Structure 1
Amino acid sequence: MRGLPDISTVDLSRTRLKLRDDLMFVPQIYGGEIFYHLEVRTTAEYYRVGYAEYVFVSLLDGRTSFAEALAVASQQLKEKALTQSQAMAIYSWLLDNGLAAFADSDASSSGATSGVRESAEKGQFWRRFNPLWMKIPLGRPELLLRFLKPFVGWLFSGPATVMAILLICFAGMKLSSQWSLFTATSGNVISRDNWLWLLLVWVGLKVFHELAHGLVCLRYGGSIREAGIIFAFLAPLAYVDASASWSFRSRWHRIHTALAGVYIELILASIAVIAWTNCDSALVRHLLQNIVVMASFSTIVFNLNPLMKFDGYYVMSDSLQVPNLSSQANSVLMSLVQKFFYGATTGQPTILGRNRFILATYGTAACVWRLLVSLSLLMTASVLFHGAGLVLAACGVLLWFCKPIWKFLQSLARLWREYPERLFRAGFITGVMGMLAITALRNLSAPVMTTAPGVVEFSDGEVVRPNTSGFVETVHVKNGQDVVAGQLLISLQNDDVTNQFHDLEQQLAQEELRLQTAAGEHNSGALNVAQGNLVSLSRQLEECKKRLDGLQIRSARAGKVIARDLPSLVGTFTKAGTEVMTIGREQEKELRLSIGQRELSVSTSLVGKPLKVRIGTHSVVSCVLLRVNPGASRIIPHPAMAAVNGGPLAVAEPDEKESAGGDRLRLTEHRFTAIVQLPEDRAEEFRGGERGTAALGLHESSLGSYLWRFGNDWITRQIDMVKSPP
């Protein structure tokens, strides 16, 4: 309102506050200390304060002034009472959050209340219309939850939880027995063609997830005030307001409420796993696999991640018995930063020992995580939505980074006015640290090993190719099967060759009959013609017999079958000379490395020398680098190496010239190949197609150059993965 003074101009020590009538206090115990949970019942807002703060706040009845309330609280709490500055901070906090208002006489004289509410409403306006995080309420779901509770509420009882844990363990064992098959087809889950199914599964699972939170919250006497949809970067997420669980006195009830969503999703994932292992329909198995991946992996990575304010955060907060974990961690981190740079102390620290170290570590990890997630989301939005994505990214920068930077600049200005010596100290320390950092980045070698990814292949395998073209009729072996010399591998069908062979047999029989007739009649001319025809037909029949025998592809040596997707060959036409499989010996294997241009000089210097290789989960093995092939290519050396299949190499769609070969993807850069010979005494431990890594030595570049390239490569990979999904 025009003409009303700002709250900063009011002498708060002479004012009187009155708490809201709908404010309720509930005591809770954290780590042996008493805290009070504040609930605004009409707006479903929740806060926590310590016991000393509660004693001071409870005295604000509209008749007691700030000074009187502070004096009474000091008499009751003695040395544990709030200081005047702490009490003033609580006083202002109550006003800022609308938890209290000036008494009538004070409000008319100060006029500060409307300014406080106007500022709060302005902040809520910007949060409400944040394009990166839009919350759309859809009403109160409590009637629906109370209707569902008699039917499904038993799922959250003790006996049902034990049965669910056994179900999850059983599903885990079933999945582990078919893990190779599951992972081989899991790449299709995140493919571009599957995004619609993935979105539908995601939305459906989140509905069950949020309903579970609501049901458990009702189970312990809480209320669900609101449900709706949150659009995070235009991705829909369901939500229910189960914040009433914060008022539960038992932390185990609060933990149970927080874990209810993950619990129900893991049950659904377990049922999907069991159904997947017993289903023959390809479409149904694909849908079940979507459910398994989204209900297990994504739930564990995101919902149980304590660095994000999802379920795992609240579980960790209650497990550590640290209320407001994020804000307290930030406070501890900021106090350490201020003490180091400014030499300032914020009074006697309230958190000491192990908890202070845990909070400082958590605060640092959460800051780094938020920064990485923010950058990743901004890059994803800018690439996925093109021009609109750039606008979204710009809004994200303004909403996430500009406000903290502005507050930081304001704090510097305040320090310049009030404590200039602290600002000089911070500038000096920052300058010294910057010089030390620059010196270290320029002069220190990167303590990072140069590595090259690779895949295990048979080194001296027999490439099996048909000698005759034909349609694949039967595949008699499978990938990884041991075969002996002469064993039938594939049967082809070629009616032209078969019919030609039978025709030649008939012609040969007729010509033999003519020869016998000419010999009986002593007809020398006819005899010579018949003999010549017999020689020609015999030669043709012999050649046709070879072509006919070529329809039965057999192994020329003993070994193991190496092939990809053999069953898909049935019914396809295979030209003569086309590679269909390889027969290799277990003792003859090599690691085929993919070398980047930066690692080429290091790799060539190691030819003929031993190097360390780690393949899969096996122990390190000492090998010899045989050669580095001089030609670079964008062809993927092996499907297991592609990032879309869980490999280390980024891939992209081929251009028009490269797509002529029929391959769907290409490497994003030209890379060289190198061959590492695996020792015969260890070769049998490794499977064909298993990924490995070779250590090529320490980086030759400086630490700064390495970090710059690493960051640039990481950003490039993220953008490439978004641009070229599988």
Structure 2
Amino acid sequence: MQRPTFHESWYRISALRPRLRAVVQVFRQRFRGKTWHVLRDPANNQFFRLDDAGFRFVGLLDGKRTVGEAWEATAAQLGDRAPTQGEAVQVLGQLYQSNLIAAELPADAEGMFDRFKRRRHKQVGGYLMNIMFAKIPLFDPEHLLERWKPAFMWIFGPVGVALWLALIAAGLLSLGGRAEELLGQAGNILDPSNWILLYAAFGLAKVLHEFGHAFAVKAFGRSEQVEAEVHVLGVMLLVLVPVPYVDATGSWAFRSKWRRAFVGAAGMYVELALAAVAAIVWSQTSPGVVHALAYNVIFIAGVSTILFNANPLIRFDGYYILSDLTETPNLYQRSNDYLKYLVRRFAYRVREPHNPAQSPAERPWLAAYGVCSLVYRVLLFGGILLFVIGKMFFVGALMAAVSIVAWLFVPLGKWVRYLLTSPELARTRGLAQGVSLAAVALVALGVGVVPAPDRQRAAGLVEPDRFEAVFSRSDGFIDAVLPTLSPADQGVLVAAGNRELLARRDRLEARLGLLAAQQRKAEREDVASAQVVRRQHEATAGQLARVRSEIQMLSLSARVGEAGQPAWWVGPDVDRFKGAFVPRGEALGVVASLEDLVIRVAADQHLGPRLRGEEWIGRAVEVKTAGRPDLTYAGRVERVGPAGTEQLPSAALGFAAGGPIATDARRTDGTTAAEAVFEVRVRVLPTASDQPPLRAGQRVMVRFRFADRPLMTQAVLALQQLFQGRVGA
């Protein structure tokens, strides 16, 4: 950090003779091995903390020495550790505003301290306006980093990099062959029941991330022969979620851009190592708290750090890495300034505006980055706001209101002020105002008047229109299964056996033969005994008939439907099912007509009510399949559910099976939606001869086309639905 020794306003306060007020109490405390002095005013319970160097300077102010004399004495005693003139001005200003020093201030000095107060208020206002990423400094970690530096510096050397590569390879190998399980667990990552483990993983990953930056600054400072220091560690409210941050600007003094870039990547470097360790733990543990925590660490430290921290379009690590490697300092501000320059130069016709591009090669680069960054930030922050509104409506609404003020009304106010008062528009003010009004009118016309396509999509599952489920009618072991998608009239669908039934049949047949012989003998010798034997014979014959019936039911044949309507057997995988035991009533497959298909669509809370209110029965829709966006199929709406239900048409539409609909994590069936859905039945129309037909079991997206309406009207409708859904209106 640069600490200029001198200050341009020093002459205004150097002759003052201030002193601490008599009522101020001083407490000496030790924080992490360093001495601090806490000043307290009992009258208003104001506190102020000074380090040892700052207190030495303030302690010399006894009302007799001047500020200049006290500063020179402190510098003579402490050398480079003494406060600079700028720091002395800052300390005096803070003490003055806290009413801890008494001094007769001239007008110019009092104005300077008042400007300091206004600057502090501006910083606080900046924290409030930047509610998405507000930063709150907490303490100076320099002493802690110096103490632990020898233990961690090797991580950023050749040995550390080699071990890091080996650890990453081990983590990837541990996940080999388990991609489906890994992705399947992602559906519940944002479920409220997982929030505690998710935030625990988030906190662990981000603490190590920030200390990775800090120790990298210390490690490379020695190579650069620079006294690199890290003096700020605090908390950033990332969408109201507290996460740690450090000020690693000490790396800006490094001469090597590669070392500066490594400092920017150090947080991700540490997080990916943590993700590799978590992957190994996850692969070696069974379901439980440790297993779930390891998965959350993989998600936070492995996935989110790449998607967000490595993204150069927002001012996280990837942005600073890109700035260093491209040797384009302050890239974000310069790209925005270049876009403003283009407007001032070509739209407002300002004479010789300042061009932030230092060379012709930078011009397209700055323009492209400025546009891409602006678009991405709007989409990102909009998505974050919608997510927060979906989880915590009123908190999200408050954030949205503050964001609209900060990102829309404040820049708009500055723009209007620029158009009305800027001296550089003195020659072309009328032109600039006319162009601006025309641009606003054009945007308003495009958003509020010009109709735009209004389309919404929903996921659905293709099913046969007529089908009959085949159930096991008796307990038994499967001996043979007809291959799936075979014509159902070719013979037995499922053949099963039951040795116990066969043995029972044999015993009953033998007993029946014995009773028949006994009955013939009794009829010759004793009529009364013959009647008893006859009743036993009849009972045994009935038992045998029932056993034979159960044996016959072990083999299931098709009951083909209407004449002329071909039926197909759709059953499980033969190799997996053969030899398995199935109890009575077990579903084994279906016999269905695959030429006549329907789609069962699950419409969410936004789409479902619109379909009910606009009489969609009989209207056409478009159908798309995954992996073939070039193919479009036609359908016709047959029925819209009269009310919402939490039961999905199929588990294939839920998160657990890779579908787009959130499911209730408390239920294991995978068919219970987190929010009520409206079931819509769509008839599949005949396809063109050159298109592959839809197949039963396919997951598709159905697009509903509404009447064109302006974007503003669509946005208002979406907000109304969102509000009604959250407040239950």
Provide the C-alpha distance between the structure 1 equivalents of 2:407 and 2:508, rounded to a whole number of angstroms: 87
Structure 2 residue matching 1:671: 3-state secondary structure: strand
Provide the C-alpha distance between the structure 1 equivalents of 2:659 and 2:722, rounded to a whole number of angstroms: 13
Pairing partner for 1:427 from 424, 428, 434? 434
Q: Give the deviation of 1:212 after TM superposition.
A: 1.0
Q: Indicate the percent of aligned positions where both proteins have the same amino acid.
A: 22
Distance 1:387 1:215, change over 3 A: same
Once the two structures are overlaid, the 10-residue window that deviates more, 530-539 or 515-524, is: 530-539
Provide the C-alpha distance between the structure 2 equivalents of 1:152 and 1:550, rounded to a whole number of angstroms: 72
Distance 1:676 1:529, change over 3 A: farther
Pairing partner for 2:242 from 228, 236, 242? 236
Aligned to 2:282: 276
Q: Give the deviation of 1:263 after TM superposition.
A: 1.4
Aligned to 2:680: 671
Provide the C-alpha distance between the structure 2 equivalents of 1:387 and 1:638, rounded to a whole number of angstroms: 33
Aligned to 2:220: 220
Structure 2 residue matching 1:259: 3-state secondary structure: helix
CA contact (8 A) 1:272 1:291 kept: yes
Q: Give the deviation of 1:230 after TM superposition.
A: 2.6
Aligned to 2:207: 207
Distance 1:381 1:682, change over 3 A: closer
Once the two structures are overlaid, the 10-residue window that deviates more, 527-536 or 590-599, is: 590-599
Q: Give the deviation of 1:244 after TM superposition.
A: 0.8
Provide the C-alpha distance between the structure 2 equivalents of 1:153 and 1:181, rounded to a whole number of angstroms: 37
Pairing partner for 1:542 from 538, 541, 545? 545
Aligned to 1:80: none
Q: Deviations over 1:363-388 (max 9, x none)?
A: 23333343444444445555645556
Aligned to 1:35: none
Once the two structures are overlaid, the 10-residue window that deviates more, 324-333 or 157-166, is: 157-166
CA contact (8 A) 1:491 1:553 kept: no
Kindly provide the amino acid, as one letter, of the partner of residue 521 in structure 2: G
Distance 1:400 1:281, change over 3 A: same
Pairing partner for 2:377 from 370, 374, 377? 370
Q: Deviations over 1:399-456 (max 9, x none)?
A: 555543443343344259974962564335533762586379756664x988664446
Structure 1 residue matching 2:242: 3-state secondary structure: strand
Q: Give the deviation of 1:220 after TM superposition.
A: 1.2
1:709 aligns to 2:720 (yes or no): no
Aligned to 2:334: 328
Provide the C-alpha distance between the structure 2 equivalents of 1:474 and 1:465, rounded to a whole number of angstroms: 14
Q: Give the deviation of 1:197 after TM superposition.
A: 0.8
CA contact (8 A) 2:191 2:665 kept: no
1:520 aligns to 2:521 (yes or no): yes
Structure 1 residue matching 2:639: 3-state secondary structure: coil
Structure 2 residue matching 1:672: 3-state secondary structure: strand
TM-score w.r.t. length of structure 2: 0.65
Kindly provide the amino acid, as one letter, of the partner of residue 194 in structure 2: N
Distance 1:504 1:381, change over 3 A: same
1:295 aligns to 2:301 (yes or no): yes
Pairing partner for 1:467 from 451, 464, 473? 473
Provide the C-alpha distance between the structure 2 equivalents of 1:256 and 1:218, rounded to a whole number of angstroms: 12
Distance 1:17 1:396, change over 3 A: same
Structure 1 residue matching 2:237: 3-state secondary structure: strand
Aligned to 1:197: 197
> What are the within-5 Å matches in structure 2 for residues 360-509 of structure 1?
360-381=367-388, 384-385=391-392, 394-399=401-406, 401-414=408-421, 419=426, 422-423=429-430, 425-427=432-434, 430-431=437-438, 434-435=441-442, 438=445, 446=453, 453-455=459-461, 463-468=469-474
CA contact (8 A) 2:661 2:673 kept: no
Structure 2 residue matching 1:333: 3-state secondary structure: helix
Kindly provide the amino acid, as one letter, of the partner of residue 682 in structure 2: T
Aligned to 1:120: 119
CA contact (8 A) 1:515 1:527 kept: no
CA contact (8 A) 1:641 1:647 kept: yes
Q: Give the deviation of 1:144 after TM superposition.
A: 4.0
Q: Give the deviation of 1:209 after TM superposition.
A: 0.9
Q: Give the deviation of 1:667 after TM superposition.
A: 4.3
Kindly provide the amino acid, as one letter, of the partner of residue 572 in structure 2: V
Provide the C-alpha distance between the structure 2 equivalents of 1:370 and 1:358, rounded to a whole number of angstroms: 18
Kindly provide the amino acid, as one letter, of the partner of residue 517 in structure 1: Q
> What are the within-5 Å matches in structure 2 for residues 488-637 of structure 1?
513-521=514-522, 522=524, 523=526, 527=530, 530-531=533-534, 533-544=536-547, 546-547=549-550, 561=572, 577=585, 579=587, 592=599, 594=601, 604=618, 613-616=624-627, 620-621=630-631, 625=634, 628-632=637-641, 634=645, 635-637=647-649
CA contact (8 A) 2:600 2:682 kept: yes
Provide the C-alpha distance between the structure 2 equivalents of 1:333 and 1:350, rounded to a whole number of angstroms: 10
Q: Deviations over 1:641-700 (max 9, x none)?
A: 34686544577999xxxxxx993545444533344789999979x99866444678xx57
Provide the C-alpha distance between the structure 1 equivalents of 2:696 and 2:279, rounded to a whole number of angstroms: 27
Q: Give the deviation of 1:153 after TM superposition.
A: 3.0
Kindly provide the amino acid, as one letter, of the partner of residue 366 in structure 2: L
Provide the C-alpha distance between the structure 1 equivalents of 2:498 and 2:233, rounded to a whole number of angstroms: 62
Structure 2 residue matching 1:183: 3-state secondary structure: helix
Aligned residue pairs, count = 603
Which sections of structure 1, spanning at least 5 residues, go unmatched?
1-14, 22-41, 44-93, 102-106, 655-660
Structure 2 residue matching 1:410: 3-state secondary structure: helix
Once the two structures are overlaid, the 10-residue window that deviates more, 143-152 or 181-190, is: 143-152
Q: Give the deviation of 1:463 after TM superposition.
A: 3.8
Aligned to 1:265: 271
Q: Give the deviation of 1:297 after TM superposition.
A: 1.5
Provide the C-alpha distance between the structure 1 equivalents of 2:166 and 2:591, rounded to a whole number of angstroms: 43
CA contact (8 A) 1:592 1:674 kept: yes
Pairing partner for 2:319 from 313, 322, 335? 313
Kindly provide the amino acid, as one letter, of the partner of residue 220 in structure 2: Y
Structure 2 residue matching 1:220: 3-state secondary structure: helix
Pairing partner for 1:347 from 348, 353, 357? 353
Q: Give the deviation of 1:108 after TM superposition.
A: 6.6
Q: Give the deviation of 1:337 after TM superposition.
A: 2.9
Structure 1 residue matching 2:572: 3-state secondary structure: strand
Distance 1:394 1:442, change over 3 A: closer
Q: Give the deviation of 1:519 after TM superposition.
A: 1.8
CA contact (8 A) 2:335 2:369 kept: yes
Distance 1:196 1:637, change over 3 A: same
Q: Deviations over 1:539-573 (max 9, x none)?
A: 3443355557878999999866279x99xxx99xx
1:638 aligns to 2:650 (yes or no): yes
CA contact (8 A) 1:501 1:548 kept: yes
